[in-house]
Structure 1
């Protein structure tokens, strides 16, 4: 079996990884499960701590900034306020001291912006890698009434979204695919797209919803984009969904870059957007808190199947984990 780039496929996780999780402890309230952004543990004092871990491997730029924000997002969508960050930084043999300084400066600035302390970590020069790899681990204190899980959506819930599709992917493509995009996309669009790195955080919006008990589930849609994130909530909750392409907001820069590379913005890595399931009766309250929140679909009973309604009205059945367009493009354009 040939393994593909990106997250391990669900069947491998469930057949191998999730069956080997060490000791079962009563203080682990939310553990590893497909579709969940992190875990929740209960301390001896009764506090609940949210933990999340993610690497940054698909980007060659802003690694430190992404590592802090992506992991903070995962904690926030589970109802946790990010507070403590740890990192492992693997540095290739051909790196310069300036490369290390740039990455740790990005970590410092991102952490300061979120009020997060960097508490521990490890860094080394690693043989056998071509680019820096950073693995982040974020801890935060639960501030919602209870942990918010991807698996708590219910049939009939509205699928809502904040900001636009493919934010992280747009930033990465405009930075790492500059040579490929020259002549296809204007310099002005590329420069604007590079600033999308600054839109990555969803912590503020996620905590607004979490503290007011408005949503049943939230998710940080990373690999697989908006479509992949909705699929993960549906699978975790044993539901299906109907999603409307024309309801999903897509920035002009994202549209232009995706058109140039023939990729689907709904399947493009999407940190910076927030998706959630909310009861319909909470929609007005949610929009008062976050005015730019959009309804993009609805969760349904599982037997109805997963449907993406395209702009032209055609229906696309989504039967499996969504592969991210970034990995496809990396494979397509990587040196042979």
Structure 2
């Protein structure tokens, strides 16, 4: 199989089909486009999400914390705890572990989440350090937001700029290669995108306004996440490609590496949908918090399409291998 997230059809056929035991306390189970599991705790629900860091070699402590906390925020929930499992190869030093945990602690403090446990192991089963993070949050049941909640005619919004995380990883891990054609100033700016990959504040703000659905943009990029949003909700979506914001550094780096920024891993971006009569309130709330928000589409009855001036109308396809892995193959 190809490197990256397992394809949607394989998930359905091999993974989901084998999950047959059910507990009545479980309110949200694994599904395409759904970021979190949800367990009923009476008036409250426990919201959980888990993710590994496999596509980056640097800053993995910070990435592990932010990416899992972003998933929790996609339910409109403030994350409160995170557990980290570290699998490190035999050549790992105490200094390597200390650096990763220092990064993780700094990231945790920035979003006010506590690292509450985990596991650390040296093993020859991996050839570089891998971190898997599980984040936990609590929310009143009636305030929970799910990816499957989008409704026909909802406005579709995204936060920040597409390709943020992927651009930062490439700029940090492939710095020497980029220097062949990309200026030092562009590379340095792109490396700093990593500081913008948290969407916890955005998720909480959107949840308070009353969005119908949210989905964190990770592997598969903005187009993959938008397809998953439609799949989770069982309806269509039309996306206005020309309105999707992108940093010039992302465009330049992706052009040089011949990769598609619209399908590049994009933590730091949250997509969300909201009723047309509430979208002004959402934009005002984001403006008050100095958060970036852009309207990029609309939920429709069935078709999933991308509209652009240059390319016309084309199908919005399911996510494939993330462009990040292609960048490292070039």
The interval holding the TM-score normalised by the smaller chain is over 0.9
C-alpha separation between the residues in 2 aligned to 1:161 and 1:117?
28
User: How far has the Cα of 1:294 moved from its partner?
Assistant: 1.0
Cα distance change of structure 1 residues 65 and 143 upon mapping to structure 2, 3 Å threshold? farther
Is the 1:80–1:144 Cα contact (8 Å) retained in structure 2? Answer: no
- Structure-2 residue corresponding to 1:266: 262
- The residue that corresponds to 1:37 in the other structure is 35
Alignment of 1:35-184 (within 5 A): 35-43=33-41, 45-142=42-139, 145-184=142-181
The residue number in structure 1 matching 2:277 is 281
Worse-matched range after superposition: 257-266 or 130-139? 257-266
- Mapped pair 1:243 → 2:239: yes
Aligned to 2:323: 325
Given the two structures, how large is their TM-score scaled by the length of structure 2?
0.95
What secondary structure does 2:310 align onto?
coil
Residue 290 (1) aligns with residue 283 (2): no
Report the 3-state secondary structure (helix = DSSP H, G, I; strand = E; otherwise coil) of the residue aligned with 1:226. Answer: helix
C-alpha separation between the residues in 2 aligned to 1:6 and 1:311? 31
Runs of at least 5 residues in structure 1 that lack an aligned partner in the other structure: none
Residues 191/48 of structure 1: CA separation in 2 closer, same or farther (3 Å cut): same
- The equivalent of 1:255 in structure 2 is 251
Mapped partners of 1:202, 1:146: distance in 2: 18
Using the size of structure 1 for normalisation, the TM-score is 0.93
Tell me the CA shift for residue 316 of structure 1.
2.3
Displacement of 1:11: 1.3
Using the TM superposition, give the Cα deviation of residue 201 of structure 1 relative to its aligned residue in structure 2, in angstroms.
0.4
Distance verdict in 2 for CA 1:319–1:249, change over 3 Å? closer
Question: Which of these residues, 9, 12, 23, is aligned with residue 10 of structure 2?
Answer: 12
1:181-213 CA distance string (max 9 Å, x none): 112110111111111110010000110111232
Q: CA RMSD for the aligned pairs?
A: 1.4
Q: Which residue is 1:195 aligned to?
A: 192
Paired residues of 2:259 and 2:326 also in contact (CA < 8 A) = no
Alpha-carbon distance change, 311 to 105 in structure 1, aligned in 2, over 3 angstroms: farther
Shift of 1:162: 1.1
Deviations 1:36-61 (A, max 9, x none): 00111112x53211100000000111
Mean Cα deviation higher: 149-158 or 136-145: 136-145
The one-character-per-residue Cα deviations of 1:244-268 (angstroms, maximum 9, x if unpaired) are 2210000121111111111111111
Asked whether the equivalents of residues 160 and 294 of structure 1 are also in contact (C-alpha less than 8 Å), the reply is yes
Q: Decide whether aligned partners of structure 1 residues 59 and 311 sit closer, same or farther in structure 2, where only a CA change above 3 A counts.
A: farther
Distance (whole Å) between structure 2 residues aligned to residue 123 and residue 280 of structure 1:
48
Q: Which residue of 2 aligns with 1:310?
A: 308
Please say which of residues 223-232 and 313-322 is displaced more in the overlay: 313-322
The aligned residue for residue 217 of structure 2 is 221
TM-fit CA distance, 1:158: 1.1
Q: What is the number of residues matched between the two proteins?
A: 326
Q: Any idea what SS the aligned residue of 2:327 has? A: helix
Aligned mates of 1:259, 1:321 — CA distance in 2: 20
Please give the alpha-carbon distance, in whole angstroms, between the structure 1 residues aligned to 2:236 and 2:58. 36
3-state SS of the aligned residue for 1:290? helix
Structure 2 regions of 5+ residues with no counterpart?
none
- CA shift for structure 1 position 144: 7.2
Once the 2 structures are TM-superposed, how far is the Cα of residue 143 of structure 1 from its aligned partner?
A: 5.1
SS in 1 for 2:226: helix
